[in-house]
Amino acid sequence: MKKVEKNKNNEIKKKKSTEKNKKDSVPQDNIIKEKFKALKRKINNFIHNPKPYFRRLRDIIVNNKLFVVFVILNVLNAAVLRAFVLGSHTIFDFDTILADLTFVLLIGSFTHLFREQGKFIYMFIVTVLLSAICVINSSYYTFYSEFSSISQLSTAQFITDVGDAVVENVLEPKDLIYILSPIILLFLHYVYKKKDYKYLHTIRRNRNGFIGTICIAIGTGIIFAFTLTGTDISRLTKLWMRESVVEKYGIYIYHVNDLVKSLEPKFAALFGYDSALKEFNEFYSDVKQPATNEFTGIFEGKNILVIHGESMQNFLIGLEFNGQEVTPNLNKLAAKGMYFNNFYSQVHIGTSSDTEFTLNTSLMPASIGTAFVDYADKEYVSIPKLLKEKGYYSFAMHANKGNFWNRRTMHLNLGYDHLYAKDEFVIDEEIGLGLSDVSFFKQAVQKLKTITEEHDKYYGTFIMLSNHTPFSDVEKYGEFDVDIKETVINPETGKEEVISHPYMEGTKLGNYFKSAHYADYALGIFFDELEKERLLDNTVVIFYGDHDARLDQSEYERLYNYDITTDDIKDEDDPTYIDFNEYEYELNRKVPFIIWSKDSDMEPVTYSYPMGMYDVMPTLGNMFGFYNKYALGHDIFNVKDDNIVIFPTGNWLTKDLYYNSNKEEYYNYTFDKTSDTPNNFVVSQKMIDDNNQKVDKILAVSNNILVYDLIRNSKK
């Protein structure tokens, strides 16, 4: 019996083997032809009778209706964010919608692997997270004109110190529209659950649904991939122009890529080091010490007092309300010294700390994270270190917490001998974020007297605080009206009387003027105290604004187009209407840079050369006798009008134009808008391409120095 069964099994095996061999013997071309025929039959069936297919699609949607809602809500949220931040024209960008859809489908596909209630919980959690991403980026862009980054988790500890600024100056009603998505999803879940008894049964675990959703996502992803250009891919990998990445890839893929880039410093030793070092060596191989000029060594051996003017913009200088200057003391300083009125701070997400970093090292801010927080352990060539070699004592004073922006650690790394922080000041008067500038400067002068007694030469940085957003301590700023006062004849009495028009009163920008006026008043007290203690002798004072006030473009509309007769904004058809467009707004973000010495014989001069914060170190180096081989900026008196100012976004500026890398368009800001005849400046594509290559190279080299610690490692 056993033998028979064995033979029978052998016969079955032979039969299967024969069938398999027959199947294998069928030519591959025939199999492909059969598949094409089957596909053709399905297409013909759909064309001649599409109803069954639509019924099937309807059934799939009905059986997965909450999932469909989940996909629509999250894709819609991303589109609304683009519309609010980048402009309404982006809301219907087909390729970006495909990118968002691909991401949402991929992350949503896991829904099908859960059972019943777990499906909803998963979709709800994902929707909450994606909505939070939209809220954060919407509000963050309002303040920084930039999208947020995962790397900012390392700076989250500093948010509590500027909490009022976030609430008052950043969050707006539009930023909360995204939270409707999880609310709608929750509402529909309970509606379906209550009205449709089949609902829970139709949302059971479905592996075919999981695979099918992934296939659809792959399909939309492939279609999206065909829309990409080499430039699009380059922008994704470099992540300098975040706007363009979000505009093309959507906010979700942007953050996935940002997460990968944020982890890059952690794996610096494993990936890209050799190529980064090679690029670094090639870049600096031809660097030579700059030529001398008329300012070489003019301040050598003098003390240096650097004043870090919080949020002080250049357009404040010379601005008046009712004959009263907003910044009378800065106006005097600019009129007496070397005043650079086309100067930009080049900050990124590190704001004030980026300014300190770039000024002291002539490197660009970090493209991911902040230099002060994420790269505080790297080696840099800095002003304090170079001055230490010349016998200088270096210090900084700031009445905020010493660990804010990781200053205590980073200042030590930059070569400062001491940071006088909040714990070394008496907090006897508070304005805004902390100690008032008036009290700060008075106490700082007393500390400076001691420093002068103990050290022959010093380099000191004084970081102001009161003029920090949200500019809401109006009652503490002192009297300064930002209305318009007009003298008129009273028709009834025939006598003169003064009437007021509100103008900038009650606006954020108006409050900024009041705050800046107070900060300028404190600056005047500082100079008086320095003069009284004879601390301005043999000393050079350097003043700079650290960055702009971070106010919306819309805030300036009333400033430039106020109609006194209607107490409203002028109509755009009005011949006196000033078009304060997005490029004028960007150009208006410049800050003042002033060099002045009581002992100098130099004539006061205003310079309009395009200049950035990274040009400060080489310019001062020429004047004080120190040199940094790794400086990315230039001595402004060697390059003058040929200088280029680079921004961390990839945008750049020359003496004639501002170039937006994201939009790939330029704005000729020297064009005389009152004339029908354009100026003689001609923009060539070669000039644009050459500058773009230069910008890419400098940003790459600067970022590699931070990520791979190349200054230290190149010495090995």
Q: Is the pLDDT of residue 192 over 50?
A: yes
Question: CA nearest 111: which of 217, 252, 209?
Answer: 209
pLDDT band at 155 (very low <50, low <70, confident <90, very high): low
User: How big is the chain by its Cα radius of gyration, in Å?
Assistant: 32
State whether residue 8 is helix, strand or coil: helix
Question: CA nearest 321: which of 127, 160, 536, 504?
Answer: 504
Partners of 418 in the β-ladder: 395
Q: Is the pLDDT of residue 556 over 60?
A: yes
d(CA 457, CA 539): 9
Q: Is the pLDDT of residue 681 over 50?
A: yes
Q: Is the bond leading into 470 cis (omega within 30 degrees of zero)?
A: yes
State whether residue 407 is helix, strand or coil: helix
Q: What is the mean pLDDT of residues 141-168?
A: 59
pLDDT band at 614 (very low <50, low <70, confident <90, very high): very high
Q: What is the mean pLDDT of residues 36-57?
A: 63
Task: Tell me how crowded residue 323 is: count the other CB atoms within 10 A of its CB.
Answer: 6
Class of domain 276-474+512-552+589-618+625-713: alpha beta
Distance of CA 527 to the CA centre of its chain: 34
Q: What is the mean pLDDT of residues 569-593?
A: 94
pLDDT band at 161 (very low <50, low <70, confident <90, very high): low
Q: Is the pLDDT of residue 447 over 80?
A: yes
Structure confidence by residue, pLDDT tens digits, 393-437: 999 999 998 888 889 999 999 999 999 999 999 999 999 989 999
State whether residue 317 is helix, strand or coil: coil
Q: What is the mean pLDDT of residues 646-652?
A: 94
Place of tokens 């940002």: 258
Q: Is the pLDDT of residue 132 over 70?
A: yes
Lowest mean pLDDT among 28-32, 287-291, 657-661, 669-673: 28-32
pLDDT at 234 (0 to 100): 75
pLDDT at 1 (0 to 100): 38
Phi, psi of 536 (to 5 degrees): -95, -5
**Angle at which helices 616-624 and 351-361 pack, to 10 degrees?**
40
Q: What is the mean pLDDT of residues 259-263?
A: 79
Q: What is the mean pLDDT of residues 183-210?
A: 72
Q: Is the pLDDT of residue 5 over 60?
A: no
pLDDT band at 143 (very low <50, low <70, confident <90, very high): low
Instruction: Note whether 375 and 366 are within 8 A (CB).
Output: yes
pLDDT at 364 (0 to 100): 97
Q: Is the pLDDT of residue 104 over 90?
A: yes
Burial grade of 635 (CB within 10 A; 0-12, 13-18, 19 or more): buried
Question: CA nearest 265: which of 349, 368, 362?
Answer: 368
Which tokens in the block code for residue 452? 């002068």
Query: Above pLDDT 90, what percent of the chain?
Result: 61
Structure confidence by residue, pLDDT tens digits, 204-232: 556 777 888 898 899 999 999 999 988 78
Place of tokens 């894709």: 75
Q: Is the pLDDT of residue 585 over 90?
A: yes
Partners of 394 in the β-ladder: 459
Helices and strands in the chain, H and E counts: 26, 21
pLDDT band at 151 (very low <50, low <70, confident <90, very high): low
Q: Which of 19-33, 153-167, 488-502, 561-575 has the highest mean pLDDT?
A: 561-575
Instruction: Note whether 628 and 362 are within 8 A (CB).
Output: yes
CA-to-CA dists, residue 648 to 296, 455, 586, 617, 687, angstroms: 30, 38, 14, 18, 20
pLDDT at 626 (0 to 100): 97
pLDDT at 269 (0 to 100): 54
Lowest mean pLDDT among 29-33, 322-326, 569-573, 695-699: 29-33
Which tokens in the block code for residue 19? 């069938």
Residue ranges of the alpha helices (H) in 455-590?
508-532, 555-561, 582-587
pLDDT band at 16 (very low <50, low <70, confident <90, very high): very low
Q: What is the mean pLDDT of residues 3-30?
A: 49
d(CA 463, CA 395): 11
Q: Is the pLDDT of residue 59 over 70?
A: no
Q: Is the pLDDT of residue 672 over 60?
A: no
Q: What are the residue boundaries of the structural domains of the chain, listed by start?
A: 2-49, 56-267, 276-474+512-552+589-618+625-713
d(CA 225, CA 233): 10
Question: CA nearest 347: which of 362, 364, 330, 331?
Answer: 364
Which tokens in the block code for residue 6? 């064995």
Ramachandran area for residue 297 (φ above 0: left; ψ -120 to 50: alpha; else beta): left
Which tokens in the block code for residue 446? 């007393």
Q: Is the dihedral of CA 207, 208, 213, 219 positive or negative?
A: positive
Q: Which of 199-208, 484-493, 545-554 has the highest mean pLDDT?
A: 545-554
Q: Between 279 and 159, whose confidence is greater?
A: 279
Q: Model-level pTM?
A: 0.77
Instruction: Note whether 64 and 214 are within 8 A (CB).
Output: no
Question: CA nearest 634: which of 625, 653, 621, 647?
Answer: 621
Q: Between 2 and 501, whose confidence is greater?
A: 501
HSE, CB side, 13 Å, CA atoms: give it for residue 557. Answer: 12
Lowest mean pLDDT among 489-503, 540-554, 583-597, 686-700: 489-503
pLDDT at 101 (0 to 100): 94
CA-to-CA dists, residue 115 to 120, 202, 209, 281, angstroms: 9, 10, 13, 58
Q: Is the pLDDT of residue 320 over 80?
A: yes
Distance of CA 351 to the CA centre of its chain: 9
Burial grade of 495 (CB within 10 A; 0-12, 13-18, 19 or more): exposed
Q: Is the pLDDT of residue 203 over 50?
A: no
pLDDT at 428 (0 to 100): 96
Look over the chain and give the mean of its residue pLDDT values, rounded to a whole number. 86
